[in-house]
Amino acid sequence: MRKKIAVGAAVGAVSAMLVTAPSAQAEGRGDIRVTKAVVNNGGNVIVGVKDVKTFPIAITIKDNSGVKGVSCVSAFNRNNGHGPVDHIGTSCKKISATTSVCTATMEINPAWIDDYGSGNDGWDANSVAGDWTVNATVQANDGDYWISDSIAAFRVKRAAVLTTNASPEPVAKSSKLTVTGRLTRANWTDLKYHGYINREVQLQFKQAGATSYRTVKSATTNSTGNLRTTVTATSAGSWRWYFPGTATTMRVISAGDAVALK
């Protein structure tokens, strides 16, 4: 509990500063610079409702005297300044006399997210999802330092779950087959999965013996995230739902449900 409160307070203070001073520019002393930064190996950061999510930020730094290290790394939503993430450590690898890659390990605990904004009227923990950016303060061996703003862009997304069930099984050839499913996504307010409503999801089919799925049709989730459609069964194979994701919710593919003909 102590860590949760400390992290929330520290990150909240950073975010408050960023919200009130969004025009702050990089500043420092000397020729040290960040030349590249990559978050989570170039992928989205997906956060569910239970597991703590850790991810790396690899920062390439250059200075003529060599790189001493990184003293601070912060990450936050670029639109609203929210950033319930903890910087838990950094390790540096020397690439040359002037260049090092320092990798910061960041951590998001879903249980922190709602507490992070507690006390704010109208706070929605799910507003944390979306486009994020990274700031870092880097240091050189000769005393140079640089506060680097917006060195990397990435997305934090809500985890999603998608299910499929096709029936009847087996089905007579040329008969109607009903395919149902449900699309849910993480809600960081109550740490549960809720139906993702009014979302278009693609129904895909892979014929028995084939190596890939093809899209057959699409359907829209209802008020509880449920999906339902009918197709004509012309051959045996597997059916699945595919959701391409959004700026705030992960891409997800259900397991296939194999249906034989009788």
> Domain spans of the chain?
2-157, 160-259
Confidence (pTM) = 0.87
Tens digits of per-residue pLDDT, 170-229? 999 999 999 999 999 999 999 999 999 999 999 999 999 999 999 999 999 999 999 999
Beta bridge partners of 107: 54, 86
Q: What is the pLDDT along the chain (262 residues), one digit of tens a residue?
A: 323 322 333 333 333 333 322 334 568 999 999 999 999 999 999 999 999 999 999 999 999 999 999 999 999 999 999 999 999 999 999 999 999 999 999 999 999 999 998 877 789 999 999 999 999 999 999 999 999 999 999 999 999 999 999 999 999 999 999 999 999 999 999 999 999 999 999 999 999 999 999 999 999 999 999 999 999 999 999 999 999 999 999 999 999 999 999 9
Q: Decide if 2-157 and 160-259 have a common fold.
A: yes
Report pLDDT for 26. 62
pLDDT at site 6: 28
3 state DSSP class of 249: strand
Q: What is the pLDDT of residues 47-56, one digit of tens each?
A: 999 999 999 9
> Residue 256, class by beta-carbon neighbours within 10 Å (0-12 exposed, 13-18 middle, 19+ buried)?
middle
H/E stretch holding 235: none
What CA–CA distances, in Å, run from 79 to 35, 83, 155, 227, 243?
Answer: 24, 11, 12, 32, 25
Distances in Å between the Cα of 27 and the Cα atoms of 33, 145, 153, 216 are: 10, 9, 19, 54
- What pLDDT is attached to residue 27? 86
CB 135 within 8 A of CB 147: yes
**Topology classification of domain 160-259:** Immunoglobulin-like (2.60.40)
Could you confirm whether domain 2-157 is CATH 2.60.40.1220?
Answer: yes
